[in-house]
Chains A and B, each alone.
Chain A
C-alpha cells in the first residue's frame, strides 16, 4: 500500500472540510426528499405507543383495584372515615376521564429541539386523537417553557390528519400547561399530594382550581401514565423514581439519542414501558400512528449520513489495517 505514503499533504489539510461539506450535502439531500420512508417500529417505541393506545384499559384496571381496596377496607371495618372518604373520592375521580389522563413532562432546551420536539409533538397528537386528557409540565430546565408552549399550540390545532381526527383542543378543558416550578424532585413529590397546590396556576396565570380539566385530577392517583421527554442524561431517573417507584405509574421515556443506551436497562426491568430514542423514536412513533410528520421526513437525512459514516468507518479501518501491517514490516 505504497499509495498511502504518497498521499499529498494538501489532502491531509482539506479532508475535514470535504467530510463536512459531504455531510451537509447529504443532510440537505434528505431534507428535500419527500418520498415516504417505511420504518419498522421497534419494541421500545411500540411499548410507548401501545400504552397510550390502551390507556382506558389501564384506567379500568386502576379503578377496579381501588374498588376492591375499598371493599376490603369496608369489610375489615378498621378504616377511618377519612380513609373511606378518600377512597370514594378517588374512585369517583377515576370514573371520570375514562379515556385516560397523561402527564407529559418537557425537559429540553433549544439546543435539543430538533430531536425532541418531533417526539413530544406526535405523542401529544396521539393523546388528543384518542380523547386522553393531558397535563403538561416542564422538568428541571426552565428554558423548556417557550418550546413547550409552541409545540402545544401547534399540536392542539393539528388534528385533521389523524385517524380519528380531533378539533382544536381547548386549554383548561382538554389539556393544561402547568409551566415550570423550581426543584423538580420535590415538586413531583408534591404533585403526588396535590397538583393544584403544587402549581396553583397554569402557565398563563389562570387559577387551576377553576379549570374543568382539574375537577377530577387532584393528584397522581388520577393520572394513568407519565411521559417524560428529556434530553439530559440523569433527568429521566427522577421520573422513574417518583412516577414508577413511588406512585406505581407507567412511565414512557422520550430521550435524546445520546443518553438512550443508558435507559434500555429500565425497559428490560419493566420500570419504563416505552423508550423513544431520539429522532428515530419520533419517526417510529409517527409510523405506528400512521401519521408521518417531521420525524419521518428527517430520517432520510439520517439514512444518508449514517451510510456515509459507515463508509468512513470502513475506510478508516482499511487504512488502519494496512498501516498496522506496514508498521509490522
Chain B
C-alpha cells in the first residue's frame, strides 16, 4: 500500500502536499491552491498528449508507415527463404494443428484433402500483417506458425505443400497493392488532421472546415440512426406500459402505482416544457405543477447522488493521506531502521 522505494516516497509526499494544497482553497484562494490547480491541469494535459501519441499516432500512423517502407525495401530472397524454411519445418513436424485441437478434430483434419486456396489465404494472413517486420526471419516464422496452428489445414503431404508454396511465390509481393492505397489513405487522414492546425493562422483558417465537416459528417452519419434507435425509440417503447398490472393473486397494486406514476410523470414533465401556448386554465396549471414536482424529485435524486460522489472523492483522498502518506511514511522509515 505504502511507498516501497525512496522515489515512491517522494511521489507520495508530492501527492499529499498537492492534495493539501487543493484543500487549502476551502479557507481562501491562496498561491498554493492556484499552483496546485495549475499543476493538475498542466500535468493532465501533458500526459494526455504523450499517451495519445503512444496509443494513437505511433501504432496507427508512425509504425505502420515505417514498417511499410522497410517491407518495400526488404530483400525478396531473404523473405522467401525464411518462409520456405518455416513451412518445411511445419510440414516436417506433422503435429499441427492437432497439438491445440481435440482428437476428433485432428482425425477430421487428417482426413481432409489439401486445400490450396485455404493454404494461400493462411499465407496471406501471416505475411501481409501490417505489424509484421519481414526483415526479421524470427517474426516471419512466429507469424506463420501461429497462422497455421489455428488454420486446421492438412499439411501432412510435404511434397504437395512445398509445390503449392512455389506457386504462391509466383504471385507474391512483399507489399500487396492494397497496402499502397492504404498508405495513400493514411496520408490523406494525416493531411486532414493537420488542417485543424490552420485555425491558428487566420488567413488559412478556412481550411480547417474540411476536416471539421468530415468529422461531423462521419459522426452524424454513423451515430444518428443508432442513437435514434437506442435513445429515442427504445425509450419511448419502454414508456408504453400497462396501467393495470395483474399478478397471480389479482392486481399488483405496487406495480400499478409505479406504472401510473411513470406515465403521469412523463406526460406532465413533457407538458411543462411545452411553451407554444399560455397555460392559464386550472387543468394546465395543475399539470404543470405536477410536472415541476416530478422535476424537483429528479433534481433531488441527482443532488443526493452528487453528495455521494463528492464524499467518495473526499474519502479517497483521506484514505490516501492516512494509508499511504502518514502510515506509509512511518512504515518506510520503520523498515529502514
Contact B55 A258 (CB under 8 A): no
Residue of A207, A242, A244, A270 ringed by the most chain B CB atoms within 10 A: A207
Determine if A287 is an interface residue (Cβ-Cβ < 8 Å). Answer: no
Partner of A182, one of B52, B227, B305: B52
Residue of B nearest to A138 (CB): B55
The answer to whether B306 touches A257 (Cβ under 8 A) is yes
For A209, list chain B residues within 8 Å (CB): 129, 143, 146
Q: Is the CB of A258 within 8 A of B302?
A: yes
**Sample of 6 further A-B pairs with CB below 8 A, known A142-B51, A209-B129:** A31-B315, A32-B322, A142-B55, A189-B222, A241-B231, A279-B312
A246 to B309, CA, bound (A): 31
A143-B48, A185-B219, A189-B222 as given contacts; A257 in contact with B314, CB under 8 Å: no
With contacts A207-B131, A305-B311 known, is A17 near B27, CB below 8 A? Answer: yes
A298 touching B55, Cβ below 8 Å: no
Q: Are the CB atoms of B130 and A200 closer together than 8 Å? A: yes
In the complex, chain B residues whose CB is within 8 Å of the CB of A205: 59
Known: A143-B51, A180-B55, A200-B131. A27 touches B226 (CB 8 A): no
Q: Are A186 and B222 in contact (CB under 8 A)?
A: yes
A271 to B226, CA, bound (A): 13
Docked pose: A322 CA to B225 CA in angstroms = 54
B305 touches A260 (CB 8 A): yes
Contact A27 B308, CB 8 Å, known A20-B26, A241-B223? no
CB distance from A28 to the nearest CB of B (A): 6
Q: Which chain B residues border A115 with CB–CB below 8 Å? A: 309, 312-313, 316
Given contacts A245-B229, A277-B305, A306-B308, contact A186 B313 (CB under 8 A): no
Q: Is the CB of A201 within 8 A of B307?
A: no
A278 / chain B contacts, CB cutoff of 8 Å: 305, 308-309, 312
Partner of A306, one of B227, B307, B319, B322: B307
What 1/0 flags go to B212-235 for Cβ under 8 Å of A? Answer: 000000110011001101110011
Q: Which residues of B contact A23 (CB under 8 A)?
A: 311, 314
B312 adjacent to A114 (CB under 8 Å): yes
Bound-state CA distance A210–B219 (Å) is 33
User: In the assembled complex, how far is the CB of residue B122 from the closest CB belonging to chain A, in whole angstroms?
Assistant: 12
Number of interface residues of A (CB under 8 A): 64
Q: Which residues of A are found within 8 Å of B314, using beta-carbon distances?
A: 23-24, 27, 305
Are B312 and A200 in touch, CB under 8 angstroms? no
Please give, as numbers and ranges, the residues of chain B lying within 8 Å of A185 by CB-CB distance: 219, 222-223
Residue of B nearest to A111 (CB): B313
Asked whether, in the complex, the Cβ of A245 is within 8 Å of the Cβ of B312, the reply is no
| B44 contacts partner chain A, Cβ-Cβ < 8 Å | yes
Determine how close the nearest CB of chain B comes to the CB of A192; give it in whole angstroms. 11
Closest to A201 in B: B59
Q: Which residues of chain A are near B313, meaning CB under 8 Å? A: 111-112, 114-115
* A215 to B150 CA separation, bound complex (whole angstroms): 8
Whether the Cβ atoms of B56 and A181 lie closer than 8 Å is yes
A269 touches B298 (CB 8 A): no
A274 in contact (CB, < 8 A): no
Contact of B59 among A24, A27, A200, A237 (CB under 8 A): A200
Q: A145-B51, A185-B219 are in contact. Are A245 and B315 (CB under 8 A)?
A: no
Restricting to B284-299, which residues have a CB under 8 Å from any CB of A?
A: 298
* Contacting residues, chain A, for B130 (C-beta < 8 A): 200
Q: Which residue of B lies closest to A16 (CB)?
A: B26
Q: Which residues of B contact A (CB under 8 A)?
A: 26-27, 44, 47-48, 51-52, 55-56, 59-60, 129-131, 142-143, 146, 150, 218-219, 222-223, 226-227, 229-231, 234-235, 237-238, 262, 298, 301-302, 305-309, 311-319, 322
Across the A-B interface, how many residue pairs have beta carbons closer than 8 Å? 153
Contact of B315 among A215, A271, A298 (CB under 8 A): A298
Assembled-state Cα–Cα distance A136/B82 (Å): 35
Chain B's closest residue to A20 (CB) is B26
Q: Is B44's CB under 8 angstroms from A143's CB?
A: yes
User: Is the CB of A268 closer than 8 A to any CB of chain B?
Assistant: yes
**In the assembled complex, how far is the CB of residue B255 from the closest CB belonging to chain A, in whole angstroms?**
12
- Which of chain B's residues have a CB closer than 8 A to the CB of A145? 51, 55
Question: Is the pair B52, A210 in contact by a Cβ cutoff of 8 Å?
Answer: no
Q: Is the CB of B226 within 8 A of A245?
A: yes
Contact B44 A241 (CB under 8 A): no
Q: Contacts of B302 on A, CB cut-off 8 Å? A: 258, 261-262
Q: Given the complex of chains A and B, what is the CA–CA distance between A241 and B232 in angstroms?
A: 11
CB distance B309 to A179 under 8 Å? no
Whether the Cβ atoms of A269 and B238 lie closer than 8 Å is yes
User: How far, in angstroms, from A135 to B314 measured CA to CA in the complex?
Assistant: 31
CA distance A115 to B307 in the complex (A): 12
A306 to B303 alpha-carbon distance, docked (Å): 12
Give a binary string over A245-276; 1 marks a CB under 8 Å from any B CB, 0 the rest: 11000000000111111100110111100000
Partner of A143, one of B47, B227, B305: B47
- Which residue in chain A gives the minimum CB-CB distance to B146? A210
Known: A145-B51, A209-B129, A237-B230. A257 touches B312 (CB 8 A): yes
Report if A245-B219 is in contact (Cβ < 8 Å); known contacts: A112-B313, A261-B305, A298-B312: no
* Contact status B222-A270, CB under 8 Å: no
A309 and B307 form a contact (CB under 8 A) = yes
B230 touches A241 (CB 8 A): yes
Residues of B within 8 A of A143 (CB): 44, 47-48, 51
Chain A, residues 276-289, CB within 8 Å of chain B (1/0): the string is 01111000000000
Query: Can you name the residue of chain A whose Cβ is closest to the Cβ of B299?
Result: A261
Q: Once the chains are docked, how many angstroms separate the CA of A31 from the CA of B47? A: 31
Q: Do B308 and A31 touch (CB < 8 A)?
A: no
A279 to chain B, nearest CB (A): 4
Assess the B312–A302 pair: CB atoms within 8 A: yes
Q: Nearest chain A CB to B232's CB is how many angstroms away?
A: 11
